[in-house]
């Protein structure tokens, strides 16, 4: 469950707020609970996927 929350958090923080897309992360988006339980290698892959959207 933490992986799904992490992916949702990263994509929402980067792209969506109130139904509109935006390019910059918003500071008011909170990290989900249990984020520290995700393996660093999985977080790295997710972060790379999100980074590819910004190119």
For the chain, which residues make up each domain, given as ranges? 1-17+32-55
Residue 14 near residue 54, CB atoms below 8 Å:
yes
**Nearest-angstrom CA–CA distance, 34 and 51:** 22
CA distances from 7 to 3, 20, 27 (A): 6, 18, 17
**Which tens digit of pLDDT belongs to each residue from 2-54?**
777 777 777 766 655 555 555 566 566 666 777 778 888 888 888 888 777 76
Query: Is the pTM value of this prediction over 0.75?
Result: no
The pLDDT score that the predictor gives to residue 26 is 59
Q: Within the chain, where are the H helices?
A: 2-15, 40-53
Distance, in Å, from the CA atom of 54 to the CA atom of 3, rounded to the nearest integer, reads 21
pLDDT at 1 over 80: no
What's the pLDDT score for residue 33?
A: 75
């Amino acid at each position: 469950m933490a992986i799904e929350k992490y992916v949702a958090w990263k994509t929402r923080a980067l792209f969506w707020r109130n139904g509109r897309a935006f390019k910059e992360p918003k500071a008011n988006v909170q990290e989900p609970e249990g984020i520290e339980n995700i393996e660093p290698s999985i977080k790295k892959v997710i972060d790379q996927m999100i980074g590819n959207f910004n190119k």
